[in-house]
A and B are shown apart, each in its own frame.
Chain A
Amino acid sequence: MSTAVNPASVVRRASAVNPAWRYGRPALVLLLAGLAVGVPLWLVAVTSAKPQAEAITPNLDLPRHWQQGSNYEEAVSQGEMLHGFLNSLLVVVPSVALVLILGAGAAWVFARRKSKLVSAAYALCISGLLLPPAVITIVMELRQLGLAGTRPGMIAVYTGMYLSTSIFFMTGFIRAVPVELEEAARMDGASPLRIFRQIILPLLRPVIATATIMVTLYAWSDIFYAFFVLGGGERATLPLNLYKVASAQLYLNNWHLVFAYVVVMSLPMVAIFLVAQRKIVSGITSGAVK
């Protein structure tokens, strides 16, 4: 009982002791949030609603003339936003699905089997957590495989890059799940595939939520690898399109379009976060600190 009460009472007493902190802390939080997050987001929001003439030198003033509608429309038509959106989805969704499914299968074996060979394979598979992908020779290999500039090639590269993360988190998670759960099902005659589908995968749900958002976040906003693998062309993803629009910025002064693009590109991630916030936070934190 005392342990349940203690932390709260400590905090309360500390704030009772120091009134400056009691009122200073929320004030400081508000100030920091306003300056560090508020100002940049405000800039994006107002500039994306300004006409081009007002947006040439971006500032924090409210638009004298609101025209967010036509800006977003222009970003869609000129920046090929819908096309880019579709291209991004076609690459990111299969990559995330593969990372999760392949990762879960491997993590299950790595967590349950104990032999030198298995630990060696595990160590090799999580080496991608630290090692940088060799992007130049990836291009070389994809060319030889006939996958350069194609979506399957991009999906394969993303899957290879992010598998380490999902295997690492999932293996740690499965190790903490009692084997008895599986054994009970095995007694009832369940096959490994069935045990994996009906016991392991449902239990993995919290890690899957975290891995989904992290991998989606990385792949959705990636431009470096997309540059090398996909290039500009037909299959360009949203970040590649944003880069194109922003590079033209130098000559066209189109900050209003750049920021309309930024808003549209960011909204899906913010939406996913808001929907799955609690799961994501608990997943990130439980996986990282052991």
Chain B
Amino acid sequence: MADTAIRTRTRTQKPAPAKGRAGKAGRLPRAAVHHPWWFALPAIVVFAAFFLVPNLLNFYYPFTNWSSYHPDIAFTGLDNFTTIAADGSLLRAIRTTLLYALLAAVFQNGFGLGLALLLEADSRFNRFFRAVFFLPVLISALATGYVFQSLFNQDGAVNGLLGTDIPWLGSTSWTLVLVTVIHGWKWMGLSMLIYLAGLKGIPGEMLEAAKCDGAGPWRTFWSVRWPMLAPALTFNVTTALIGSMNTFDIVQATTGGGPAGSTEVFNIYMFRIFGQGLYAQASAMSLVLFLVVVAVAIPLVIGLRRREQLL
């Protein structure tokens, strides 16, 4: 009797969990059937093999003597790091790259925002000039560098035009600033487009309301438009800062890292040292770049996101 009771109870209980499981079991495979993993697999494999694995290897090779002078690769500890720290190139690369990224981000965003505000209204005139200011984005960075090198050479077009004899690309303190202005020039069109989209996203009533409250153009800008541009600013500042830490072409084509190494950013150093066959040392610098980018990117993204929520 008890037996059957138990049996009936189990029998009556059975359908409930079975149904639950069927529902669950139905849902999981349904996801797997409708959006199967193998659609994502090729991308994951390629990305892992050619992006993640090299970055992981980059945590090993800096600690070896891998170079064109040794037939085999042996573990040497921190030797490469002490070398680049002792000859001063480590600190110089960090300092130059951070300064470059900061200035490039300032110029790129300054130019981009200025252009966006100038060309905000949707007229035919403005649409044409938006395209004109986007042109530099389409020209390769290397070509941009050569164009500006010929402009700013001591016997170049700018000095010829101004009747001066200024060594624009020969100053150990100001050439870096000029190169970042060129970087800002090359990418300003992209920032401009993104700021334009941000401006377009501001509801018309909001501007009208500010106007009714007696706000002038400046007040409207700082109290309404600037805060509403926060998402565009986040995107632009992040991409500009991170992108310019990975810069190579413009610097190589204008100064090649000079004068006296004053514009030698990480990638220029790696390129030069790799050319000398000191692979592990270049890899050590590459690892430092990785760590610097992570150290800048994480607080930056978190900070800008928080700012968006506060505004």
A contact set with B: CB distance below 8 Å: 2-3, 6-7, 10-11, 13-14, 18, 25-26, 28-29, 32-33, 36-37, 39-41, 43-44, 47, 57-60, 98, 102-103, 105-106, 108-110, 112-115, 121, 124-125, 127-128, 130-141, 156-157, 159-161, 163-164, 167, 182, 186, 192, 195-196, 217, 220-221, 223-224, 227-228, 239, 242-243, 246, 255, 258-259, 261-262, 265-266, 269-270, 273, 277, 281, 284-286, 288-290
Contact = CB atoms under 8 A, between A and B. Distances in A.
Interface in B254-311: 267, 270-271, 274, 279, 282-283, 286-287, 289-290, 293-294, 297, 301
Given A130-B293, A186-B34, A289 B142 contact: no
A160 B58 contact: no
Contacts of A26: 125
Interface residues of B, number: 99
A171 B161 CA distance: 50
A43 B194 contact: no
Contact of B197 (A18, A28, A220, A289): A289
B54 A137 contact: yes
Contact of A58 (B150, B193, B198, B245): B150
Contact of A223 (B53, B151, B235, B249): B249
Interface stretch (B5-13, B35-43, B81-89, B164-172): B35-43
B266 to A, nearest CB: 8
Contacts of B66: 140
Contacts, number: 277
A114 B34 CA distance: 13
Contacts of B201: 289
A137 B286 contact: yes
The 9 closest A-B pairs by CB, nearest first: A221-B140, A160-B50, A285-B197, A106-B43, A6-B204, A7-B204, A134-B58, A102-B43, A105-B39
A273 B132 CA distance: 12
A60 B139 contact: no
Contact of A109 (B39, B141, B160, B270): B39
B208 A6 contact: yes
A98 B42 CA distance: 10
Contacts of B287: 134
Contacts of A156: 46, 49-50
Given A266-B139, A270-B138, A160 B46 contact: yes
A40 B148 contact: yes
